[in-house]
Amino acid sequence: MKKKNVAGILALILGVFGVHRFYLGQKAIGLVHLGSFFIGLALSLSPVDNPALFFAVPAIVGLIDAVLFFVMPQLDFDKKYNAGLTWKQQTIPASSSLSYDDSLPSSQKDRYKKMGLESYRTYDYESAIKFFQKALDFNYKDPAIHFNLACCYSIMEQAENSFFHLDKAVDFGFDDFQKIHKHEALAYIRTHREFDAFVHNHYQMNDELLGINEDLLSTTPTMDKTVLDKIASLGELRDKGFLTEDEFSMQKRRLLKDD
């Protein structure tokens, strides 16, 4: 996977040789840069006026390329220079690796998934969650996205949300159970006594896990409302942005079970 900042630094420092173009796989343009340098070198050894001008042209072009790379949006850079790479080739370091499926066509879902992975790599877990949630809007049954969300929520120490998305990941086909027991991002939820119950329940949520967090309606003055009224209140909280779609679903499930 080509890196935007790497291309920019190469263009800034070694642009006169066209090294950044070779890095991006544009060998023909790189050879033009390199050829210009050697032509300038040959002319500098001959009796011509201002031979430095022949070196200045490729150097200025490299400087312009560097500026363009630095200001180019990441998605535009990826679309232009990383379009031929598969998801397997776009691997993030093993120490912070999440999970994703490959052989997917380019789509809005993939773009949000990739943005989520990039945010995860920079430790911006809140943004990663938002991007993964947007990816689910296009395919809610993607087990890899649910697993990634479970990892993010575990790091954020939101156990119930993490268990919820692990449940969904397994529901939709995730079967690498060893990763659930070994992945460092899930270390937080593995410290919970509820984790054993989750495992014994075939990696699915149960009544015990639904009680990890406090009922969001239990401290409001609407305890005498019917279940439908409570669900409607939850819907209002969701619409106002106080609850995510997943949190709304979990609270609704709890209310229906209690009823």
Q: What is the pTM of this model?
A: 0.46
Residue 179 domain flag:
yes
pLDDT at 1: 67
Domain region containing 162: 94-213
Assess whether 101 and 207 both reside in one domain.
yes
- 245-251 average pLDDT score: 73
- 113-123 average pLDDT score: 90
Encode pLDDT of 32-87 as tens digits.
Answer: 878 877 777 776 666 656 656 666 777 788 888 888 888 887 767 777 777 644 43
Assess whether 127 and 24 both reside in one domain.
no
pLDDT at 92: 39
As a whole-number percent, the residues of the chain with pLDDT over 90 amount to 12
- CATH number, domain of 185, equals 1.25.40.10
Encode pLDDT of 134-176 as tens digits.
Answer: 888 888 889 999 999 999 999 998 888 898 899 999 989 998 8
How many domains does the structure of the chain reveal? Answer: 2
Assess whether 73 and 126 both reside in one domain.
no
Assess whether 113 and 203 both reside in one domain.
yes
CA-to-CA distance for 122 and 124, rounded, in angstroms?
A: 6
- 112-120 average pLDDT score: 90
